[in-house]
């Protein structure tokens, strides 16, 4: 007999308990006839991450009320739902509940609470210390939540020792570049080590600076991928698991006979009837620039739509950063929801103007032009400024930000910042100027990645003028200016920044890598002095192992 499982890989909204509950009901009901179990992601009821909403008792009561409603709803269905939720039971737990037949069948409370990178679960939850097994009459299923499966000595081995053929793990696992390949590899190892099917249900969607890629998986005991949901999209994916296969394989492998199952496992029993066999599917998994581009587009789309912005607006300079952001906005939201603003000064080149107009035409977006020469001159007169210093350069950037935020204020549009990670790392960006915005889509991209993604986008359709790639990058705030007047070449800058920020290499270790002492000193000094700027930057999607934001918590005032 087969165990039929549907993974409901859905995009939930943080705090929208009523609509989240409705999504659960609809997906469950639509999958009921073919499924024994319908599996939802971690904290599906509340949305992920709910952060300090978890410190509100009224919010927790609303989540528990939703579970009661789901219990009543389940009375008319033949399948069991596996749902992630905050669970208040004298204390607060990150929990997985089994609901079916009009009642709450069991509760599993997450054991390993992550408290690193972007995670703060020990701030909110008490850890659980008891496993949960569902006995169905023809197979046994063990349950865990996200971080639990990352530990090789976690519940998966205990469940296998207790005779479970299927291991279900529900997740809200944030994306970053390169993570998926590693994740698939270790999940295959869990399946092989425990001679079991691993069912990995992941969240999809954007939430502030996190983005979730979906790509829920089912892996067989040989470590073979048997089902995979879509990347960066909602999906319902179903699979039939021949559990007899596990028993035959375990007869030939004595590893699980050498240890006893732990006693702290609660078992619930529900008889399940046979259902028709389902043919699984394996969706393609994007890689490289395509994967990264889709992650950024989904994050931008969800940030705008979940915060009820009908349109976005951004400054177009003729440079590579604003060109890429414009492409992302159009691909995420559609051309009718994107407005580009060109704000030339006396230092803006003819080439920049031509490239902006060509980009806007190719993308089919509205372009408005507001020259800043006159207001800039008025400010210089007011301030009695007679020379061109960094202050006068930054004044131009702040005038442009004022125009963008006027349009935002006037029409309710979301301002997109076009600053990248290389610039914000070393402070080569104007606070309350070009770094200002409501959302920063390329905040976690180094300059080299910006070029690579722009090339990728042009491989789909050549919308960015070729000259944008060829001209030296420039802020165009003074005559004949280029970025390299102030910064090392971006190839060198990006490498040092990546080693320092993401790999944690110190000054001495960077010198051992062969970088020049003067260059390393200058870059690290710039990184440190720009901390106060970054603390005031808009949110943007985390797509690297360590992003500025929740992932980077450095003191502004510090002397190390």
Residue showing tokens 């009821």: 45
What local confidence, expressed as pLDDT, does residue 485 receive?
A: 66
Say if residues 125 and 94 touch (Cβ distance below 8 Å).
yes
Residue 244's nearest CA partner among 5, 80, 3 is: 3
Marked catalytic residue, from 42, 71, 156, 393? 42
Phi, psi of 543 (to 5 degrees): -130, 5
Say if residues 275 and 35 touch (Cβ distance below 8 Å).
yes
Phi, psi of 516 (to 5 degrees): -70, 140
Say if residues 50 and 15 touch (Cβ distance below 8 Å).
yes
The C-alpha atoms of residue 191 and residue 415 are separated, in whole angstroms, by: 46
pLDDT tens profile 62-118: 999 999 999 999 999 999 999 999 999 989 999 999 999 999 999 999 999 999 888
Residues in contact with 123: Cβ distance below 8 Å, sequence separation at least 6, in sequence order:
115
The C-alpha atoms of residue 462 and residue 361 are separated, in whole angstroms, by: 12
Neighbour-count burial of 74, counting CB atoms closer than 10 A to its CB (0-12 exposed, 13-18 middle, 19+ buried): buried
**Domains along the sequence of the chain with CATH:** 2-269 (3.60.110.10), 291-487+530-534 (3.40.50.620)
**Does an H or E element contain 37, and which?**
strand 37-39
Q: Determine the 3-state secondary structure of 175 from DSSP.
A: coil
Say if residues 79 and 36 touch (Cβ distance below 8 Å).
yes
The C-alpha atoms of residue 316 and residue 320 are separated, in whole angstroms, by: 10
Marked catalytic residue, from 23, 71, 109, 110? 110
The DSSP output letter for 280 is: -
Say if residues 354 and 342 touch (Cβ distance below 8 Å).
no
First to last CA, the chain: 63
Residue 409's nearest CA partner among 436, 391, 435 is: 436
Max CA pair span of the chain: 88
Confirm whether 164 is a catalytic residue: no
pLDDT tens profile 401-434: 999 999 999 999 999 999 999 999 999 999 999 9
Marked catalytic residue, from 71, 121, 139, 146? 146
The C-alpha atoms of residue 317 and residue 352 are separated, in whole angstroms, by: 7
Residue showing tokens 């060509």: 358
| Gyration radius from the chain CA atoms | 26
- One DSSP character per residue, 98-133 reads EEETTEEEEEEE-S----STT--HHHH-PPP--EEE
The C-alpha atoms of residue 168 and residue 196 are separated, in whole angstroms, by: 10
pLDDT mean by block of 10 residues, the chain; 560 residues:
96 97 98 97 97 96 96 96 96 97 96 91 95 94 95 89 95 95 94 95 97 97 96 97 91 76 89 92 96 98 97 96 98 98 92 95 98 92 88 92 97 97 93 94 96 97 95 77 79 95 93 94 94 94 92 87
Q: What is the pTM of this model?
A: 0.94
What local confidence, expressed as pLDDT, does residue 317 receive?
A: 94
What local confidence, expressed as pLDDT, does residue 551 receive?
A: 87
CA-to-CA dists, residue 468 to 322, 430, 462, 490, angstroms: 10, 22, 12, 16
Residue 194's nearest CA partner among 171, 216, 164, 217 is: 164
Tokens read off for 41:
């992601």
CA-to-CA dists, residue 517 to 505, 506, 508, 560, angstroms: 14, 12, 9, 18
Distance of CA 546 to the CA centre of its chain: 12
Beta bridge partners of 144: 169
The C-alpha atoms of residue 459 and residue 461 are separated, in whole angstroms, by: 6
Residue showing tokens 């006068």: 392
The C-alpha atoms of residue 358 and residue 350 are separated, in whole angstroms, by: 12
Residue showing tokens 């051992």: 512
Confirm whether 311 is a catalytic residue: no
The DSSP output letter for 202 is: -
Confirm whether 110 is a catalytic residue: yes
pLDDT tens profile 213-228: 999 999 999 999 999 9
The C-alpha atoms of residue 377 and residue 394 are separated, in whole angstroms, by: 14
Residue 39's nearest CA partner among 218, 181, 191, 213 is: 218
Neighbour-count burial of 512, counting CB atoms closer than 10 A to its CB (0-12 exposed, 13-18 middle, 19+ buried): exposed
């Amino acid at each position: 007999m087969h165990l039929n499982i549907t993974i409901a890989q859905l995009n939930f909204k943080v705090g929208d308990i009523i609509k989240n509950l409705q999504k659960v009901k609809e997906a469950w009901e639509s999958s009921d006839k073919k499924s024994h179990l319908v599996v939802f992601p971690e904290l599906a009821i509340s949305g992920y991450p709910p952060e300090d909403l978890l410190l509100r008792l009224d919010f927790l009561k609303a989540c528990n009320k939703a579970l009661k409603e789901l219990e009543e709803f389940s009375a008319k269905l033949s399948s069991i739902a596996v749902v992630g939720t905050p669970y208040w039971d004298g204390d607060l737990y990150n929990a997985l509940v089994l609901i079916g037949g009009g009642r709450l069948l069991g509760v599993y409370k997450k054991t390993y609470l992550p408290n690193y990178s972007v995670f703060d679960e020990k701030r909110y939850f008490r850890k659980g210390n008891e496993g949960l097994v569902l006995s169905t009459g023809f197979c046994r299923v063990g349950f865990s939540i996200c971080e639990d499966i990352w530990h090789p000595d976690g519940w998966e081995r205990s469940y296998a020792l207790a005779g479970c053929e299927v291991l279900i793990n529900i997740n809200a696992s944030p994306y970053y570049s390169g993570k998926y390949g590693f994740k698939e590899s270790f999940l295959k190892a869990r399946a092989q080590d425990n001679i079991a099917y691993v069912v990995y249900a992941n969240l999809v969607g954007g939430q502030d600076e996190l983005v979730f890629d979906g790509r829920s998986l089912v892996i067989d005991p040989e470590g073979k991928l048997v089902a995979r949901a879509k990347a960066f999209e909602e999906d319902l994916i179903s699979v039939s698991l021949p559990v007899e296969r596990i028993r035959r394989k375990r007869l030939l492998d004595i590893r699980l006979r050498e240890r006893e199952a732990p006693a702290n496992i609660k078992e619930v029993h529900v008889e399940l009837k046979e259902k028709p066999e389902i043919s699984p599917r394996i969706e393609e998994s994007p890689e490289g620039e395509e994967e990264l581009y889709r992650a950024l587009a989904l994050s931008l789309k969800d940030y705008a739509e979940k915060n009820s912005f009908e349109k976005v607006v951004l400054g177009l300079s003729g440079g590579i950063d604003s060109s890429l952001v414009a492409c992302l906005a159009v691909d995420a939201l559609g051309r009718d929801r994107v407005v580009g603003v060109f704000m030339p000064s006396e230092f803006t080149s003819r080439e920049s103007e031509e490239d902006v107009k060509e980009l806007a035409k190719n993308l089919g977006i509205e372009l408005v032009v507001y020259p800043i020469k006159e207001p800039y001159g008025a400010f210089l007169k007011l301030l009695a400024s007679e020379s061109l210093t960094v202050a006068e350069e930054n004044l131009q950037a702040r005038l442009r930000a004022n125009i963008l935020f006027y349009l935002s204020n006037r029409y309710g549009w979301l301002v997109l910042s076009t600053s990248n990670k290389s610039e914000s790392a070393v402070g080569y960006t104007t606070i309350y100027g070009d770094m200002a915005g409501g959302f920063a889509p390329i905040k976690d991209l180094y300059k080299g990645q910006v070029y690579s993604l722009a090339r990728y986008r042009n491989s789909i359709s050549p919308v960015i003028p070729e000259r944008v790639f060829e001209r030296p990058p420039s802020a165009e705030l003074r005559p004949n200016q280029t970025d390299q007047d102030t910064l090392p070449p971006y190839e060198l800058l990006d490498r040092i920044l990546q080693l320092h920020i993401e790999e944690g290499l110190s000054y001495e270790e960077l010198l051992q890598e062969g970088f020049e002492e003067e260059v390393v000193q200058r870059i690290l000094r710039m990184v440190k002095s720009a901390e106060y700027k970054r603390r005031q930057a808009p949110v943007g999607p985390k797509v690297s192992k360590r992003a500025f934001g929740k992932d980077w918590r450095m003191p502004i005032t510090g002397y190390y």
